[in-house]
């Protein structure tokens, strides 16, 4: 249980750092608001997609 908590905290922390980087680029006006929204959607898609891959991997590994 303790290991799972560390993994979840690490994933949440990395998501927050990357989202903060996108906000920082937006505030510095290096990217436009539509580009920032696209970056947020892409970031969320990456995390959801890899989450599904990890869940399927763990399910298949448990069957063997």
User: What pLDDT sits at residue 62?
Assistant: 84
Q: What pTM was estimated for this model as a whole?
A: 0.79
> What is the residue extent of each domain of the chain?
2-63
- DSSP-derived secondary structure letter, 1: -
Distance (Å, whole) CA 34 – CA 52? 27
Report d(CA 42, CA 52) in Å as an integer.
15
Closest of 37, 40, 51 to residue 16, by C-alpha: 40
pLDDT of residue 14: 95
Determine the average pLDDT of the residues in 5-14. Answer: 92
Tens-place pLDDT, residues 10-46: 999 999 999 999 999 999 999 999 999 999 999 999 9
């Amino acid at each position: 249980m303790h290991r799972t908590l560390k993994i979840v905290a690490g994933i949440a922390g990395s998501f927050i750092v990357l989202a903060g980087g996108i906000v920082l680029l937006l505030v510095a006006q290096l990217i436009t608001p539509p580009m920032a929204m696209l970056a947020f959607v892409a970031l969320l898609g990456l995390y959801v997609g890899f989450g599904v891959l990890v869940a399927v991997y763990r399910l298949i590994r448990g069957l063997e």
